[in-house]
């Protein structure tokens, strides 16, 4: 059995991972950490701990899973890699520079880590199809929809989608005429990386949504929409389980679930 620790165990995603771990014959939950409600039991013999480093040193997990928040994820990852604890990271909000630094740290410490902005197979396919369609269209925009408690915008998935899209089309157009924004931000945020991109990303935040995304392509006389809806958070769990099993047997740095499917 793989010994699993969960950081952010009381959150919307973390509590699903707790449930999945407790119900799996392949995993043993050895530790649960959160910054809130320390001492609360999440299983018969597992109470929430508040100090990540102490909790990991005590429970010695094979793999730590992190679903916390963008403002603390980089520091959390440094702790995991310094302790040489393999990690599965679902928390979003890491910058490009931070991801490069994590890759370097993972190699230096010979410790495996999988970072995935999205663990749902449908979302991975949406990104794959968007990458493929990019070859054939001149204009593309992304609308992503999330619940109103999401702290970062645009979503990690929309950024990852845009990165994949520019692999097949390095120069989308932004509309076709001079544009004026009468309300600032109404055209969304422009994704550009290494002078490539020109993909507008629009972020919707409101109660009712879990996570949805629409990638819209246009060219003369036609529009193609690729749409994915997350109905509930259970959809992420097969991807999280796959990542735990994969990183348990690996010392590599992996970014994106598509690289282990
Ligand atoms: N990769 C994916 O497939 C995927 C899917 C959904 C959400 N997410 C991301 O996962 C993260 C968590 O999302 P959520 O909806 O579960 O959020 P949430 O706010 O419901 O849960 C976060 C939990 O982490 C705890 N926490 C925050 N900082 C902490 C710290 N430094 N140490 C210990 N505990 C800490 C909070 O107390 C809370 O219980 C977000 O970044 C979100 O964007 C990723």
* Gap from CA of 178 to ligand 1 centroid (Å): 40
**pLDDT at position 197, please?**
82
* Gap from CA of 219 to ligand 1 centroid (Å): 38
**pLDDT at position 2, please?**
98
**pLDDT at position 26, please?**
97
- Candidates 7, 13, 232: which one to mutate for ligand 1, based on the most atoms within 8 Å of Cβ? 13
12 classed as catalytic: no
Q: Name residues of the chain where pLDDT drops below 70.
A: none
CATH of domain 2-115+233-259: 3.40.50.720
Q: What is the pTM of this model?
A: 0.85
The 3 state secondary structure assigned to the chain is CEEEEEECCCCHHHHHHHHHHHHCCCEEEEEEECCCCCCCEEECCEEEECCHHHHHHHHCCCEEEECCCCCCHHHHHHHHHHCCCEEEECCCCCCHHHHHHHHHHHHHCCCCEEECCCCCHHHHHHHHHHHHHHHHCCEEEEEEEECCCCCCCCCHHHHHHHHHHHHHCCECECCCCCCCCCCCCCCCEEEEECCEEEEEEEEEECCCCCEEEEEEEEECCEEEEEEEEECCHHHHHHHHHHHHHHHHCCCCEEECHHHCC
CATH class, 121-230 region: alpha beta
Tell me the domain boundaries of the chain.
2-115+233-259, 121-230
**pLDDT at position 170, please?**
85
**pLDDT at position 135, please?**
95
The answer, yes or no, to whether any atom of ligand 1 lies below 6 A from the CB of 91, is: yes
150 classed as catalytic: yes
Which atom of ligand 1 is the closest one to the Cα of 118?
3
Catalytic residue among 86, 146, 160, 202: 146
Which atom of ligand 1 is the closest one to the Cα of 73?
31
* Gap from CA of 167 to ligand 1 centroid (Å): 30
The answer, yes or no, to whether any atom of ligand 1 lies below 6 A from the CB of 80, is: no
């Amino acid at each position: 059995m793989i010994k699993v620790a969960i950081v952010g165990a009381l959150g919307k995603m973390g509590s699903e991972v707790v449930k999945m771990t407790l119900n799996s014959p392949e995993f043993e939950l050895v530790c649960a950490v959160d910054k809130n409600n320390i001492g609360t039991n999440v299983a018969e013999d597992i109470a929430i701990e508040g100090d990540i480093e102490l909790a990991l040193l005590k429970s010695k997990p094979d793999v730590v899973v992190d679903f916390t928040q963008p403002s603390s994820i980089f520091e959390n990852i440094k702790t995991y890699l310094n302790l040489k604890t393999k990690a599965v990271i679902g928390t979003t909000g890491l910058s490009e520079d931070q991801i490069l630094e994590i890759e370097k740290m993972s190699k230096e410490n010979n410790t495996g880590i999988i970072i995935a902005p999205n663990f749902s197979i449908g979302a991975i396919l949406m990104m794959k199809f968007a990458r493929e369609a990019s070859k054939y269209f001149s204009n593309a925009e992304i609308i992503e929809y999330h619940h109103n408690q999401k702290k970062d915008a645009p979503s990690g998935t929309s950024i990852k989608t845009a990165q994949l899209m520019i692999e097949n089309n390095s120069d989308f157009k932004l509309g076709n005429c001079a544009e004026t924004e009468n309300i600032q931000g109404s055209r969304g945020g422009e994704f550009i990386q290494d002078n490539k991109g020109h993909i507008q990303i629009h972020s919707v935040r409101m109660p009712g949504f879990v996570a949805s995304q629409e990638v819209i392509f246009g060219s003369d006389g036609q529009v193609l929409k690729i749409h994915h809806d997350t109905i509930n958070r259970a959809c992420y769990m097969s991807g999280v389980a796959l990542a735990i099993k994969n990183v348990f047997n690996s010392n590599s740095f992996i970014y994106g679930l598509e690289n282990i499917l």
